[in-house]
Amino acid sequence: MTGRLAAAPATVPGCALELIRRFEGLHDGDRRTPTLLEPEPDPAGIYTVGWGYALFEGGRPVTDPAKAAAIWRSRWPQGFTRVQAEALLADTALEVCVRVRRLLPGVRLADHELGALTSLAYNIGVGEDGGRPDFADSSVRRRLLAGDRRGAADAFRMWRVAGGRILPGLVRRREAERSTFLGPRTP
């Protein structure tokens, strides 16, 4: 199976959403309120809501719990629910997917490749302000632009550090994304 070729995506490949849900998890900083999802720090200390949606202020990720709570309350004054988390994931993943495509002009991608790239960029960022390295600066992107798909697949493994340390969850995620990017293998 080669997958259909993606141009400007109208939808996000299903494999991207599967990878994001699997590895981000549904963040909820207060389990005592089962119908609401409050901000929660990720392993690097960045506060997130829903399916790993990072909170930013002034182009910088929020690491202060009081600031995260204030942003959460101002953005979702009635609270943030599972339904809203699903909608935010769909909107954000589509935006990320479109930005990934724009950063790869002329590169034809099968759905499984675009899905893996979207999952990676959802997690590491895709051309945001703030000066932190992200997909736009990545070896994955540079190698794809140079026509080196195998090298691009191997470069997923470079993105396994958060908070200054290698995280086992990121190692597992990058292997899953790399495997998805490489696509189904025939025996």
pLDDT score recorded for residue 60:
86
Whole-number pLDDT of residue 31: 86
**pLDDT for the residue numbered 130:** 57
Asked whether residue 1 is domain-assigned, the answer is no
Q: Examine residue 2 and state whether it is found in any structural domain, yes or no.
A: no
pTM recorded for the entire structure: 0.90
Give 111's contacts (C-beta < 8 A, 6+ positions apart).
Answer: 3, 4, 6, 13, 15
Is 186 within a domain?
A: no
- The angle at the Cα of 177, spanning 129 to 44, to the nearest 5 degrees, equals 50
- Cα 179 from chain centroid? 16
pLDDT score at 6: 43
Q: Give every residue of the chain whose pLDDT is below 50, as ranges.
A: 1-7, 186-187
The pLDDT value given to residue 3 = 42
> Do 50 and 25 form a contact (C-beta atoms < 8 A)?
no
> pLDDT for 126-171, tens place per residue?
976 556 789 999 999 999 999 999 999 999 999 999 888 999 999 9
For 41, 76, 99, 122, 156, the CA distances from 135, given in Å and listed in that order, are 22, 29, 10, 9, 10
187 inside domain? no
Does residue 107 fall inside a structural domain? yes
- CA–CA gap between residue 64 and residue 66 (Å, rounded): 6
Please report whether residue 40 resides in a domain: yes
Domain range spanning residue 103? 9-181
Domain annotation covers residue 146: yes
Number of structural domains (the chain) is 1
Q: What CATH code is carried by the domain that includes residue 82?
A: 1.10.530.40
